[in-house]
Amino acid sequence: MTLSEFLQARIAEDEAEAQARREHSEGCWPNMDNCQSHYGEEGQWSWGPARVLAECEAKRRIVSEIEGTRATGTYTTRLLTILLHLAMPYADHPDYHDEWKP
């Protein structure tokens, strides 16, 4: 599994979880108030499903853009480093490779 494939799989898992929570728990994570939008009261950032789904889409686009540079031969160490940083939150996943640690 490549780093990009690993990231796409984790993004898909996060997205599926957020979608399920949005559909089955009226749009909120447990113990969350006012999480229908990205921001709760007084502009505080909410970790509700809508925010997670938006983050998943953003990450997916970043990975696609970086993979596009690889296909054109302009892939650089700095772009790989971005992917390594995106993978950091998933370091405890069994498919994570130690060589992906930045």
What is the number of H-type helices and E-type strands within the chain? Answer: 3, 0
pLDDT tens digits, residue range 45-71?
456 777 788 889 989 989 988 888 876
More confident: 49 or 95: 95
* Residues in CB range of 48: below 8 A, 6 or more apart: 22, 27, 28, 29, 32, 35, 36, 37, 38
Determine the pLDDT at residue 75: 67
Per the structure block, which two tokens stand in for 26? 């009226």
Q: Kindly state the tokens that stand for 43.
A: 């502009």
pLDDT, the chain, mean: 78
Confidence of residue 3 (pLDDT cuts 50, 70, 90): very high
Integer Cα distance of 58 and 62 in angstroms: 6
Give the tens place of pLDDT for each residue, 10-31: 999 999 988 887 776 554 555 4
